[in-house]
Amino acid sequence: MRGFPIFPEQASTFAGPVDLLYFVLVGLSLLFAGVLPFVILWLIVRYHRSQKVDRSNPINSSLALELTWSIIPLILALGVFFWGAFLYIQMRTPPAQTLDIYVIGKQWMWHTQHPNGKRENNELHVPIGRPVRLIMTSQDVIHSFYVPEFRVKQDVLPGRYTTMWFEATKAGEYYLFCAEYCGTEHSRMGGRVVALSLADYEAWLTTQGPIILPDGSIDSGQPAISVDLGDPMAAAGQQLFASLGCAGCHRDDGGGVGPSLVGLFNSEGSFADGTTAVADENYLRESILNPNAKIVAGYPAVMPPYAGQVSEDQLNQLIAYIKSLAETDGN
Amino acid sequence: MATTTPTQAHGQGKDVHGHGGHDHDHAHVPGLQHHFNTPEQQKEAATLGMWAFLITELMLFGGIFMAYIVYRWGFPVHFVDAATHLNTPLATLNTVVLLVSSLTVALSVHAAENGKMRRVLLLFGATIMLGFGFLGIKGYEYAEKFAHCNGYSTPIAWATGTGQHAVDECLVPGRAFLYPESHGATHGGEPAPAAPTTAGAPTPYQLFFLLYFMATGLHAIHMVIGITVMSVIGWMTWRGKFSPAYFNPIEIGGLYWHLIDIVWVFLFPLFYLI
Amino acid sequence: MATTALPQGYLRDDAPGAIAWLKSWLLTVDHKRIAILYLLAINFFFLLGGLAATVIRIELATPQGDLMSSDIYNRAFTLHGIIMIFFFLIPSIPAVLGNFLVPLMIGAKDLAFPRLNLLSWYIYMIGGIFALVAAVFGGVDTGWTFYTPFSSTYSNSNVILTIAGAFVMGFSSILTGINFIVTIHTMRAPGLTWFRLPLFIWSNYATSLIQVLATPVLSITLLLVAVERIWGVGIFDPALGGDPVLFQHLFWFYSHPAVYIMILPGMGVISEIISTFSRKRVFGYEFIAFSSLAIAILGFLVWGHHMFVSSQSVYSGLVFSFISMLVAIPSAIKVFNWTATLYKGSISYRTPMLYALGFIGLFVIGGLTGIFLGIVAVNIHVTDTYFVVAHFHYVMVGGAIMAYLGGIHFWWPKMTGRMYNEVWGGISALIIFVGFNMTFFPQFVLGYMGMPRRYHVYPEEFQILHVLSTAGASILAIGFIIPIIYLMLSLRTGKIAGDNPWEATGLEWKTTSPPPTFNFDTTPIVNEEAYAYPPDAPERDAAAWKPGSPL
């Protein structure tokens, strides 16, 4: 117990600006909700029928007054709107270099995987002072990843990726909640976010913990993956890429039946029907599961859909691998 | 303060109703319900009520149209290809049937205005027949789809049980849904997207046919209601309930029939043509 | 004014036997009797929803799930939401007060389609029975929002039955809306032009527009959920090839305007009460009237503000946020105009006035916190937390229910011909106000602390605020029970009210209390604006006051 709670801790770079805006809103609200009741109170006491006061020449309308009390609130509302809008754009625009962590939500647990392959259940370790980007999806219903102390929340949808980013500022343990109602144990679908200094985080990454399998269960046997600071998630993706036979068509040199995937991530592609799109995680996801939705101009539509053949977990690894192809390309 | 004064004339609210000050006696106006002051008021209320109802109907179909637009935007190629599996000639015939029925309805309202009640009856009969014709054709279209799911090429073959073959397509959404492997036809020079080989697999094709069955099914339900309404009004006409002075139900029923037509006029191009 | 004998009016019992009496009620086409039928049914559902709320609040007094399992808890809050929204708040003021008053206020003998009106009640009851049957046979655990794919694929509860209930109820709502629109357009008394209409009529008109335009979208959406659930074909479930966010768009396209279905009629009630008990014309009549329409129209364009964190693009988030800011203005205009009406009035603290003043205070808080939620950057943190819960209870309970109760008290003498107990009326109004604030204000703090909604167990540090909230809820419950008692008692022992106990303007006060079956012996002719109190009415009212007169 922290005594009588009034206010959550500020533990991310967003917390300060969001709270400031919140306080300004509270202040403006007090201007109305704090003053107006006293005006009403004064009016109903002063003009109570038992009071002998001047009631002559009552007015029933006044354009000047109407305009005043329409325009001033409008200006204030637009003011806070623009403030909130700029802050929102900032909250939704991750910096170029982020630490990408993959999150899978399912009834009723969170499963996360770090780039080096380390997995967690209902926990998320993040370094402070580094922008972290979560790439999230759900295996069943809609969930919502919510860390109150960071002031961030994002719904996690089945069938697509949603992302959010934050930068923790303070080491500590914070609540992780599922904020979108997801069924019976909704209120128990949560855990903690542990913010560590960068050094501690890297140390944690290489510490051998319990071995968590892709489906979230704990393996009592020997570690299946080596834990080091490289990018084993991408490496696992590369193995998958080979074993699924992707490499046969998507050759790195571009000479295959399908387009080369080198440098693909975050580039703009144009399609057979004349449209274009940026190759983000959702595009990669769609192109693996349902390749015919968008056909790259100049290539035949021959790739079979992989929907139902790769798990969410494997999909994350494949995408991590394809993303790594863009990074090594000097991106 | 507003004053309450005894009044007999009901045309005083010119700014309200905009009708002239006829002197009506309730007891002698046919079909006038007690809570209305004038037949004009009653007719205005009935017509406005029907229009308000028609708007809710449009919003009801609007939800399906919205879903259609969203998914068509999401899967343009699939939707164009899926549309080729619908029976466009039959639907065109149905469009003609409906448009003719609209004409007969409009003519019957006109005839009622002129007091030609026999002609009204005749036209109503024609309208109802056309309505049944539409449902029959629509039913045949549905039956085709179901016949394919059972391995017959036409509903007639299905009914007689002749010529059953392996199921190569099933366009009825559900577990058995099977989009034909290769349709051959291509649209706009684009290759037809490869279809999944497993039955019941979730694809945009299934979505198209689901929306198709939902929209046309809902429309068919409205058609059944429309035929019922027309039959009741026709029966009332036969019983001599209407006169040139009072034929509100004929007009209202006509409005409803036109709504059914208009919805079809949107459905037809959306699903069959584009 | 003083009448010695109670006129029977529409309540006259001239049926020869019990069956005939029952028929005279259950087959009535009199809008006033139908309003009474609604009153009984709606209050029953209110008590049922309140019972569910009680269970929820007791459970939340401790952070552990000790009173019930999480499954039961989920069914309880879903029941609370579905009953309160679909079967209490949406029909409450339009179906009870609107049904009773719209024809009276415009000088008509009845609504335009009396039989349709009765049909609406039966449809409402059928919908209610579906929902009750669903609740009795195990309930439903999807939340009142029915979010897919949970509702369409994953939930193992009576989703179909409940959806059928909401679906059927929707038609009742649509038919009532059509009836009001047509009645207001075509059945106004001679001389009653649009700008002479009472503001209650304006707000009911705006409400009806929303009911007619938005409800069908909910119907078709729920139908699609049912189809997906029954046949397993994908519309909303991505595993079946659908899009779960499309459901949210369609759902909120109805359900945000539905919020205005709940609050707009309440605003109309407040305008009537404030004017009557200030003895003055409402300040800025045209602005209040048009702000109702503005709210109805803008209300259709802001549904996306329920979905700021549901993977909406930044661009659409900003657009929805912007329009949401604009909706705040017409609401603010109303509040300021009501306040200005008090100035130089002659104010009496009758029970309806206490409810109206309470409404203003609570609605201001509900509205302002709506701005917090409309700003995306803040919304991200507080959406789906208790902040939202507190916000909409301030609008729905603090707004709609306060107005409903205020309206019931205000027109009780007209509906029954008898006065309720003014002392108990004032006491319970104060209890409700205090209990309400105690229940829901702590929830704002809880929400900003990060307590998510629909949580059955929660971290211990939130307990103190939850205990406070539960304590407030028990006070609130007492406040709701007292009026039921004294209003029932007033039916036998209440003072005979007379035609116009409040000395109010408006056509409904020109006829007897209770009104005769066809409302007016002769069609009234209107030659004045609404609330046509003479300029010296406040002065004369105050001059007539002497110690011992009602406060």
- Band of residue C437 on the pLDDT scale cut at 50, 70, 90: very high
Q: Which residues of A touch B205 (CB under 8 A)?
A: none
**Cα–Cα dist C551/C545, whole Å:** 9
Q: Which is more confident, B22 or A277?
A: A277
Structure tokens at C473: 């809820």
Residue B20: predicted pLDDT:
38
Does A311 lie at the interface with C, CB-CB under 8 angstroms? no
**Distances from the Cα of A25 to the Cαs of A28, A73, A80, A150, C372, in angstroms?**
5, 12, 8, 19, 7
Do residue A40 and residue C143 have CB atoms under 8 angstroms apart? Answer: no
- Band of residue C483 on the pLDDT scale cut at 50, 70, 90: very high
- Name the closest residue on chain B to residue A306, using Cα atoms: B196
Residue C305 pLDDT more than 50? yes
Residue C1: predicted pLDDT:
42
Q: What is the mean pLDDT of each run of 10 residues along chain A (331 residues)?
A: 71 93 92 86 88 80 89 92 93 90 90 85 92 92 94 92 93 93 91 92 81 67 51 79 84 80 83 82 84 80 80 85 70 38
Q: Which residues of B touch C234 (CB under 8 A)?
A: 202, 206-207, 210
Strand order in the sheet with A99-106: A119-121, A109-113, A99-106, A132-138, A162-166
Residue B7 pLDDT more than 70? no
**Cα–Cα dist C301/C314, whole Å:** 17
With tokens 């109407």, the residue in question is A66
Q: Which residues of C touch A159 (CB under 8 A)?
A: 238-239, 243-244
Q: Which of A307-316, B252-261, C401-410 has the lowest mean pLDDT?
A: A307-316
Do residue B191 and residue A304 have CB atoms under 8 angstroms apart? Answer: no
Preferred mutation among C175, C223, C523 to probe B, highest tally of B CBs within 10 A: C523
Residue B42: predicted pLDDT:
87
Instruction: Please tell me the distance in Å from C3's CA to the nearest CA on chain B.
Output: 19
Does A76 lie at the interface with C, CB-CB under 8 angstroms? no
Answer for the pair C363, C274: CB distance below 8 angstroms, yes or no. Answer: no
Q: Which residues of A touch B191 (CB under 8 A)?
A: 295, 300-301
Do residue A58 and residue C347 have CB atoms under 8 angstroms apart? Answer: no
Whether the predicted interface score ipTM is above 0.85: yes
Residue B10 pLDDT more than 60? no
Q: Share the mean pLDDT of chain B.
A: 79
Instruction: Please tell me the distance in Å from A189's CA to the nearest CA on chain B.
Output: 29
From A293, A301, A307, residue closest to B75, measured CB to CB: A293
pTM above 0.90, yes or no: no
- Band of residue C165 on the pLDDT scale cut at 50, 70, 90: very high
pLDDT digits (tens, 9 = 90+) for B73-114: 878 878 888 888 888 899 999 999 999 999 999 999 999 888
Residue B29: predicted pLDDT:
66
Do residue B174 and residue C231 have CB atoms under 8 angstroms apart? Answer: yes
**Distances from the Cα of C244 to the Cαs of C249, C311, C485, in angstroms?**
9, 11, 46
Q: What mean pLDDT is predicted for residues B248-261?
A: 90
- Band of residue B11 on the pLDDT scale cut at 50, 70, 90: very low
Chains that touch C (3 or more CB pairs under 8 A): A, B
Residue B199 pLDDT more than 80? no
Do residue A142 and residue C325 have CB atoms under 8 angstroms apart? Answer: no
pLDDT digits (tens, 9 = 90+) for C16-29: 888 888 888 999 99
Instruction: Please tell me the distance in Å from C369's CA to the nearest CA on chain B.
Output: 31
Q: Judged by CB atoms within 8 Å, which residues 96-135 of B form the interface with A? A: none
Instruction: Please tell me the distance in Å from A13's CA to the nearest CA on chain C.
Output: 13
**Cα–Cα dist A240/A262, whole Å:** 16
Residue B13: predicted pLDDT:
36
pLDDT digits (tens, 9 = 90+) for C95-138: 999 999 999 999 999 999 999 999 999 999 999 999 999 999 98
Do residue C227 and residue B2 have CB atoms under 8 angstroms apart? Answer: no
Structure tokens at C386: 């208790």
**CA geometry: angle C316, C322, C328, nearest 5 deg:** 140
**Cα–Cα dist C355/C302, whole Å:** 29
From C182, C213, C528, residue closest to B59, measured CB to CB: C213
Q: Report the interhelical angle of C351-374 vs C314-342 (nearest 10°).
A: 160
pLDDT digits (tens, 9 = 90+) for C499-550: 899 989 889 999 988 999 888 888 888 888 888 888 888 888 888 877 767 7
Residue A231: predicted pLDDT:
63
Q: What is residue A215's three-state secondary structure?
A: coil
Distance between start and end Cα atoms, chain A: 48
Q: Which residues of B touch C111 (CB under 8 A)?
A: 35
Q: Which residues of B touch C518 (CB under 8 A)?
A: 34-35
Do residue B194 and residue A304 have CB atoms under 8 angstroms apart? Answer: yes
Instruction: Please tell me the distance in Å from A203's CA to the nearest CA on chain C.
Output: 30
Do residue B174 and residue C233 have CB atoms under 8 angstroms apart? Answer: yes
- Band of residue B1 on the pLDDT scale cut at 50, 70, 90: very low
From C178, C188, C241, residue closest to B16, measured CB to CB: C188
Q: What mean pLDDT is predicted for residues B223-249?
A: 89
pLDDT digits (tens, 9 = 90+) for B182-191: 544 444 444 4
Instruction: Please tell me the distance in Å from B134's CA to the nearest CA on chain C.
Output: 24
Do residue C525 and residue B37 have CB atoms under 8 angstroms apart? Answer: no
- Band of residue B168 on the pLDDT scale cut at 50, 70, 90: confident
From B76, B191, B196, residue closest to A301, measured CB to CB: B191
Answer for the pair A187, C458: CB distance below 8 angstroms, yes or no. Answer: yes
Answer for the pair C469, C435: CB distance below 8 angstroms, yes or no. Answer: no
- Name the closest residue on chain C to residue B21, using Cα atoms: C190
Does A38 lie at the interface with C, CB-CB under 8 angstroms? no
- Band of residue B22 on the pLDDT scale cut at 50, 70, 90: very low
Nearest residue to C9 (alpha-carbon basis) of C404, C418, C523, C495: C418
Does B76 lie at the interface with A, CB-CB under 8 angstroms? yes
From B16, B67, B204, residue closest to C246, measured CB to CB: B67
Q: Which residues of B touch C185 (CB under 8 A)?
A: 44-45, 48
Residue A221: predicted pLDDT:
54
Do residue C505 and residue B1 have CB atoms under 8 angstroms apart? Answer: yes
**Distances from the Cα of C47 to the Cαs of A16, C41, C42, C94, C130, in angstroms?**
44, 10, 9, 19, 17
- Name the closest residue on chain B to residue A303, using Cα atoms: B194
Query: How many angstroms from the chain centroid is the CA of residue C97?
Result: 10
Nearest residue to C460 (alpha-carbon basis) of A176, A186, A192, A5: A5
Sign of the torsion formed by the C-alpha atoms of C344, C346, C352 and C355 = positive
Q: What is residue A121's three-state secondary structure?
A: strand
Do residue B35 and residue C114 have CB atoms under 8 angstroms apart? Answer: yes
- Band of residue C195 on the pLDDT scale cut at 50, 70, 90: very high
Instruction: Write the DSSP assignment of C345-414 as a string of letters.
Output: --B---HHHHHHHHHHHHHHHHHHHHHHHHSHHHHHHHTTBHHHHHHHHHHIIIIIIHHHHHHHHHHHHH
- Band of residue B9 on the pLDDT scale cut at 50, 70, 90: very low
Instruction: Please tell me the distance in Å from A293's CA to the nearest CA on chain B.
Output: 7
- b or e along C405-442 (b: 16 or more beta carbons within 10 Å of the residue's beta carbon)? bbbbbbbbbbbbbbbbbbebbbbbbebbbebbbbbbbb
Instruction: Please tell me the distance in Å from A160's CA to the nearest CA on chain C.
Output: 9
DSSP B194: P
Report the C-alpha dihedral over residues B245, B250, B252, B254, rounded to 10 degrees.
-140
Q: What mean pLDDT is predicted for residues B44-60?
A: 89
